[in-house]
Amino acid sequence: MAVVSAVYAGTYGEASGEHRAKSPWECPNCNRTLDIRYEKESLVLECPEHGLRLSYPTPPGAYQGRSLEELTDVVFSRTMSGMNLARQGICPRCWGVTVIEYPTEPTYGLDGEGSAQDDIVWAEVDCNRCWLQYDPPLQVLISSHPAVRGFYSEHGLDDAEALFGSRSTSNPEVSDLVLHESGGTTATFELGEDALAVDIDEGGRVTDVRRE
């Protein structure tokens, strides 16, 4: 069954060339527009200036019948849905047990000292059974919760806008994180006049969601 679904998604055998487009989003570290590329079964967002690179494994079947921009929306929707499962301890790939750790060191190439990303709290989600791993800012992980996605949707913002750009969940002007001494954390998201607060425990499980 796994092989059948892998073949159907196009994992095996299809040669896929490289394709490029400009994204609508700015690099979080500088003002350059991020490039979108599809290559080697991954959707890649990359800053042409200083090498920030975000890579999302994506089978060629996902690109069939879609533009690169449409593929990007699909990848972000699936990433959010996958993170929503993984956040609850369920691997979206193999159904195994996932574990969340935070704060962690970022594992991909961000700028060093003085970058706009210095104060980001990073999280890591790992599957105990397979290679699945997410390493998002903690707010992004928390924003996979349906209440936060609903909050964004109410304000006319989709998954891509929750992940990138001026209203993204990791933008310090939108979100605030308080790490409590007890081990838990409260994330607050503000859009317009509205605010949504989410409490998580030290294992990353959501314990409370409320409007503030």
Choice between 19 and 93, CB closer to Zn ion: 93
Are 58 and 70 in contact by the 8 Å Cβ rule? The answer is no
Contacts of Zn ion in 22-61 (CB under 5 A): 27, 29-30, 32, 47, 49-50
Q: List, as one string, the DSSP characters of 9-20.
A: HT-SS-----EE
CB of 128 to Zn ion, least distance (A): 7
CB of 129 to Zn ion, least distance (A): 5
Which of helix, strand or coil describes residue 44? Answer: strand
Please state, in angstroms and rounded to a whole number, the distance separating the CA atoms of residues 75 and 114.
Answer: 30
CB of 25 to Zn ion, least distance (A): 11
Choice between 131 and 192, CB closer to Zn ion: 131
Q: Residue 193: how many CB atoms within 10 A of its CB?
A: 5
CB of 117 to Zn ion, least distance (A): 10
Choice between 75 and 91, CB closer to Zn ion: 91
Contacts of Zn ion in 116-155 (CB under 5 A): 127, 129-130, 132
Name the H helices within 15-143. 68-87, 138-142
Choice between 27 and 100, CB closer to Zn ion: 27
Choice between 125 and 187, CB closer to Zn ion: 125
Q: How many residues bind Zn ion (CB under 5 A)?
A: 15
**DSSP category for residue 90:** B
93 touches Zn ion by CB under 5 A: yes
5 burial (CB, 10 Å; 0-12 / 13-18 / 19+) is exposed
End-to-end CA distance of the chain, in Å?
47
What is the contact surface with Zn ion in residues (CB under 5 A)?
A: 27, 29-30, 32, 47, 49-50, 91, 93-94, 96, 127, 129-130, 132
